[in-house]
Amino acid sequence: MNLSIVISLYNEAPSLKELLGEIRSVAHTMGIEYEIILVDDGSTDGSWDIIEREAASDNHITAICFRRNYGKSAALYCGFAKAEGDVVITMDADLQDNPEEIPDMYDMITKEGYDLVSGWKKKRYDNPFTKNIPSHIYNATARFVTGVKLHDMNCGLKAYKKDVVKNIEVYGEMHRYIPYLAKEAGFTKIAEKVVKHRKRKFGKSKFGISRFINGYLDLLSLWFLEKFGKKPMHFFGFIGSMTFLAGFAIAIILIVQKLYRQTHFLKFRAVTDQPLFYIALCCLIIGTMLFLTGFISELVSRNSSERNRYNIKKTIGKS
Nearest of 190, 130, 179, 172 to residue 155 by alpha carbon: 179
User: What residues does 197 pair with on adjacent strands?
Assistant: 97
pTM for this predicted structure: 0.76
Share of the chain above pLDDT 90, in %: 57
Average pLDDT over residues 63-78: 94
Give the dihedral sign, CA 222/223/228/232.
negative
pLDDT band at 88 (very low <50, low <70, confident <90, very high): very high
Over the stretch 123-159, which tens digit does the pLDDT of each residue have? 876 665 556 677 788 788 888 888 899 998 889 999 9
